[in-house]
Amino acid sequence: MSFVHLDTTLEALKGKDCLTLTDFTSEQIEALVELAVRLKKQQKAGVQNISLQGKVLALWFDKASTRTRISFSVGMAQLGGHFLELPTQSLQYGRGESLEDTARTLSGYVDGIMIRTFSQELVEELAKYATVPVINGLTDLFHPCQTLADLQTLYEHKGDLNKLHVAYVGDGNNVVHSLMHGAAAVGMKLTVSTPKGYEPLSKVWDEAMAIAKETGAEIQFDHDPKKAVKGADAIYTDVWASMGQEDEKEKRSKDFAGYQVNEELLQLAKSDAIFMHCLPAYRGLEVSAGVLDGPQSVVFPQAETRLHAQKALLLSLLG
Ligand code: CP
Ligand code: NVA
């Protein structure tokens, strides 16, 4: 993908929700990444952009978060706006007020709602009743904001996205579901490798394949991680037990044996391949300490891109 100025493409996003990346066209996803790259350069050059002056974003958390919480909060502050943290237990919703009434009430106060919760249906329900944009900050099914930052990271480290091969090794979870949508949208090659029983959902697979048909992306699957990473420009992994799956940690550690991204696996990718992880990471489980802390790892620059990617999204939806 080569970047051109696509600002008119993003104008169409004003007032829209971001519930899953399928809410956006390929052109809009590429334009969001391009805008995030520009915003990052501006920020580094000390240029202030206060386009969201006077706007308020509600941050509704039902699960823990470091990167999502901080990137959205700092992003709003840098854009001249404000943010408001709403842990579920602090809301009357936590005591039984309806989602519909909560959505309508919030819409009278704030300009956008970012929510991190368990159920994708709840986020969709919230968006149905809210009259301001709703942003999915992670559900059990999707993590679209992470993928926007990941595409930016790949572009900044490796160049044109439609020339890249990314291998995802690990659990077929929310992170890879959104990565499949994103990779398909930008015409990338993505090989997913999971143990049996932990594959991505077939519904998401079908959605990604349908997008890939239009863009020329190759979305593939291989149970063998060694075959999956062969010749890859990037290897990506995520935790084996996501939030809400704490009880399965032990069983999953056994089931995922052989799927750790370690020095041996990394060697099978291109010699200049990068290692990516959305974080938080667990050294010795899904990734060896040597790889996570090694020279090919871009996990902290990747975490930083969340800030710029989220600012691009906020400017487009709330601006
Ligand atoms: N990657 C990510 O979403 O991190 P947090 O859970 O810390 O927000
Ligand atoms: N798959 C992980 C991602 C955390 C950012 C989880 O849902 O816990």
Nearest protein CA to atom 6 of ligand 1, as residue: 65
1 found inside a domain: no
Domain residues for 260? 146-302
Supply the DSSP symbol for 295: T
Task: Kindly state whether residue 172 falls inside one of the protein's structural domains.
Answer: yes
Contact between residue 193 and residue 225 where contact means Cβ atoms under 8 Å apart: yes
Closest atom, ligand 2, to C-alpha of 138: 7
26 domain residue, yes or no: yes
- The CB of 146 under 6 Å from ligand 1? The reply is yes
Same domain (yes/no): 90, 205: no
Residues having CB within 6 Å of any atom of ligand 2: 138, 173-175, 238-239, 242-243, 278
pTM of the predicted structure, to 2 decimals: 0.97
Residues 207 and 281 in one domain: yes
Q: Are residues 39 and 72 in the same domain?
A: yes
- Tokens matching residue 201: 């959902």
What is the maximum span of the chain, computed from C-alpha positions, in angstroms?
55
Do 65 and 183 lie in one domain? The reply is: no
| 5: annotated active-site residue | no
Residue with tokens 């909060």: 73
Which of 238, 246, 287, 302 most suits a substitution to test ligand 2, by most atoms within 8 Å of the C-beta?
238
Asked, for residue 222, whether it belongs to a domain, the answer is yes
Please answer whether residues 84 and 112 qualify as being in contact, where contact means their C-beta atoms are separated by less than 8 angstroms.
Answer: no
Distance separating alpha carbons of residues 173 and 220, to the nearest angstrom: 16
28, 146, 152, 310: the active-site residue = 146
Q: Residue 211 belongs to a domain with what CATH number? A: 3.40.50.1370
> What is the pLDDT tens value at each position of the chain, 319 positions in all?
333 344 789 999 999 999 999 999 999 999 999 999 999 999 999 999 999 999 999 999 999 999 999 999 999 999 999 999 999 999 999 999 999 999 999 999 999 999 999 999 999 999 999 999 999 999 999 999 999 999 999 999 999 999 999 999 999 999 999 999 999 999 999 999 999 999 999 999 999 999 999 999 999 999 999 999 999 999 999 999 999 999 999 999 999 999 999 999 999 999 999 999 999 999 999 999 999 999 999 999 999 999 999 999 999 999 9
Q: Which ligand is nearest to the CA of 305?
A: 1
Give the C-alpha separation, 235 to 302, whole Å: 13
Is residue 39 located within the same domain as residue 53? yes
Number of other residues whose CB lies within 10 A of the CB of residue 11 = 11
Strands, E assignment, the chain: 56-61, 82-87, 112-116, 134-136, 165-169, 189-193, 218-221, 234-237, 274-277
Residue 292 shares a structural domain with residue 314:
no
Round to whole Å and give the CA distance between 95 and 318.
30
Predicted pLDDT of residue 313: 98
| Residue 66 in tokens | 């470091």
Ligand 2 pocket test target in 71, 119, 174 with most atoms within 8 Å of CB: 174
Q: Per the domain annotation, does 208 fall within a domain?
A: yes
Any domain includes 164: yes
One domain for residues 69 and 176 = no
Sign of the dihedral through C-alpha 162, 166, 171, 175: negative
Residues 6 or more apart from 28 whose CB is under 8 A from it?
9, 10, 12, 13
- The residue with tokens 């044109």 is 160
The pLDDT assigned to 8 comes to 87
Indicate if 137 and 232 belong to the same structural domain.
Answer: no
Same domain, 185 and 105: no
Domains identified in the chain, total number: 2
The reply to whether 120 and 166 lie within a common domain is: no
Same structural domain, 314 and 292: no
Asked whether 313 and 298 are in contact (CB, 8 A), the reply is no
**9 CA distance to ligand 2 centroid (A)?**
30
Residue 263, judged by CB atoms within 10 A of its CB (0-12, 13-18, 19+), counts as exposed
User: CA-CA distance, 134 to 260, in Å (whole number)?
Assistant: 35
Helix axes 67-78, 299-318, angle to 10 degrees: 50
Same structural domain, 118 and 211: no
